[in-house]
Amino acid sequence: MPALKLFGRKWLAATDDLVYPGLFELFIRVVWIVLMSIALARYYGETWNCRMGGELVRVFLIGEIVILGVVIILTFAIVNHSARGSITDTYARRFVQPLLTVKILLVLPEVAWNILGSLWVLSKERVECNEESYTIAVVEALVLFDWVLIGLSILGLALVFDPLGSLGLHEVEDSVEHRKVSRIWMRRFKFLWWMHKDESASETFQHVAGLLSALFRGTDLVPSDVMAGCVLLRVRQKRETLELRRLNILNRPQYSDDAEAIFANTPSWMSLEWANHYLKLSIASYGWLFVLYKHACTGCFRLIRRMTCCACFRRKRNIVIDDNCCLCNLAGVKYLSQLPEEDILYASFRNHLCEVPFCVIADHKTSSIVIVIRGSISLRDLITDIAAASDSFEVEGLPPGSMAHRGMIIGAKVLLKQLDQSNILETAFEMYPHYNLTLTGHSLGAGLSVLLGLMIRPRYPNLKVYAFATPAGLLSREAARVTEEFVLTIGLGDDLVMRLGVDSTENFRTSLLIALQACRLPKYRVVLNGLGYMLFGVPERDLDRTWRNGNTINSIPGQLPLLTESSPARQTETMIFEKDVTRRRYSKVRLYTAGRILHIVRCKPVEKEKRKQTAKERQYQMRWAEAEDFMELSVMPRMLLDHLPENVEKALATLLRQQENLPVYLDA
């Protein structure tokens, strides 16, 4: 940080990104020059006895030694200068750009000499010399790996090429730049040609392009800065937590493992048993991919018994949309849910932009017709998630002016259209007139379940929703309060998705920039420390040594320009075009997690109990949380793992066993 400027443009790399690639190349080059020096010493005299092509061999050997020597010196100098200074101290690394320019230009003579080596190795008509096995083997290996290294260099340049990197672009007005950046993102999305047949592709792509442009335009961040910033934020968050504890101003929420006390004042349908049951159905919606993910070696054998061979040519008893000829997705649903085929009343596996697969199930255990909506596992689902800005969501029962996640609004409307066209709910309730309606899903499926539940609740006022790992930016606050009557949301630990929204991402962006500016260490040290933190945790000595003057920037909400509440006048298009990144806002309204939220966390056993517990044992506690508790995006070790549905299921199953005072043994 800032981005590297080379050949009149900016690149998606910084001057301090060359330490580890340079060390890797340095190691290879040193090995090569040693081997080539041995080959030169053993074979150079023989070249004078060559019947043809001796000059070519001598030129290649001597030239290759010279090129390798120059490249080694240049690479060493680049690594040395790239390792200097802190992340934002570009003056200490001012010689990296000219050194790198010279090294890139050396690719041309290196290619020329590699062509000579290829002629020696491959062309027997131009070179007739006495073959010496060691030298020939070394030259063949060198030529091969040199072509590979040249190819990797070209690939590296392609990966760090920034189509917006023209230095002249940043001289235009910020609004014009925003539109240009948005067009570039649209051009990138055009490569996703298979998505253009989707009905909402153009509108969704335009929305996502504008959002990504507003978030990252003008930050001058490169991918490695984001990685280093996440490491720094983890260190800063730990230090601030310890400081708050030392000052006794950290409010620790009260968790409990007593389900009877937790659910004392809740409706009977809010229970761990029912939540665990519906989570299993939510997991089943992931189909055969989840079976193979959980059982990599035996998954195929588990599915074969439930597949229907040549189903395309058979009469189907169930309505199955867009499954393959062997009904593999349906087989996965049957295996994971352990339901007979006749209880799966409808299954759509069509996956387009803002159109997510779902199943309608007759669940006799709970006397419910269950709509199970799948979570994100495809690129289309990811783009639906990213289309996250607020949009108007006016349905019966919600306060006027309610807002919701734009991509999920479209997805819920598509689901409702499919349900209405198939008349599956009407048919289901004709078959089971005394059953209730329940919606459930995990991640993206949870958000769609909540919005779809709000849309069809006037028809089915007694419906219930079980949502697991619901995304944070789903509904405006008053609308989210309405859902507490019929939605149970369950989240685990440091789940990233439950804290991920446009607003929290904008706050995270500013916190990351501040952490990078406050860091006193070079980036290679930060990345190396991050690897150590993953294995051994953050040592106390790094809490102070990482920062300039031992200080970090206060990150208490409300103390940063980005975190202050903006006036209504600022919630206009000009906020998107704001040059000051810390004040730039894309989201018009802050969106929250829906439903009544049960938050589950791991609890460390007290000292007396540690001796009695095995290393594999995990215990959990829970509490009722507020949507405001999930508005800050934090960097935690398990923020991705806690989102996985199998880990949520383990936590619920453990809590259920704890209620029976049974020993708990779970895999780590």
Q: What is the pLDDT of residues 235-291, one digit of tens each?
A: 998 888 888 877 877 777 889 888 999 999 999 999 999 999 999 999 999 999 999
Position 569 scores a pLDDT of 36
Residues 256 and 233: their CA atoms lie apart, in Å, by 29
Residues 507 and 583: their CA atoms lie apart, in Å, by 10
Q: Which range scores top for mean pLDDT: 294-298, 368-372, 553-557, 581-585?
A: 368-372
The residue ranges of every structural domain in the chain are 3-162, 172-216, 223-251+502-586, 259-498+616-659
Mean pLDDT of 450-460: 96
Q: What is the pLDDT of residues 206-218, one digit of tens each?
A: 777 777 766 766 6
149 pLDDT higher than 60: yes
Share of the chain above pLDDT 90, in %: 46
CA-nearest of 16, 15, 7, 17 to 165 is: 7
3-state secondary structure of 176: helix
Q: What is the CA 321 to chain-centroid distance, rounded?
A: 29
Residues 285 and 269: their CA atoms lie apart, in Å, by 22
Position 192 scores a pLDDT of 59
SS (H, E, C) 391-437: EECCCCCCCCCCEEEHHHHHHHHHHHHHHHHHCHHHHHHHHCCCCEE
607 pLDDT higher than 90: no
DSSP 280-305: HHHHHTTTHHHHHHH-TTTHHHHHHT
Range from 59-63, 123-127, 185-189, 609-613 carrying the lowest mean pLDDT: 609-613
Position 222 scores a pLDDT of 86
Share of the chain above pLDDT 70, in %: 81
Average pLDDT, the chain: 83
655 pLDDT higher than 90: yes
Position 405 scores a pLDDT of 93
Mean pLDDT of 177-185: 66
448 pLDDT higher than 90: yes
SS (H, E, C) 545-612: HCEHHHCCCCCCCCCCHHHCCCCHHHCCHHHHCCCCHHHCCCCCCCCECCCEEEEEEECCCCHHHHCC
Q: What is the pLDDT of residues 289-341, one digit of tens each?
A: 999 999 988 999 899 888 877 655 555 556 888 887 888 999 999 999 999 98
162 pLDDT higher than 90: no
Position 23 scores a pLDDT of 95
CA-nearest of 460, 439, 263, 280 to 360 is: 439
Position 605 scores a pLDDT of 59
Residues 228 and 523: their CA atoms lie apart, in Å, by 7
- The matching CATH number, chosen from 1.20.140, 3.40.50, 1.10.8, 1.10.260, for 259-498+616-659 is 3.40.50
Mean pLDDT of 33-38: 88
340 phi and psi angles, rounded to 5 deg: -70, 160
Range from 126-135, 242-251, 414-423 carrying the lowest mean pLDDT: 126-135
Range from 147-156, 293-302, 303-312, 409-418 carrying the lowest mean pLDDT: 303-312
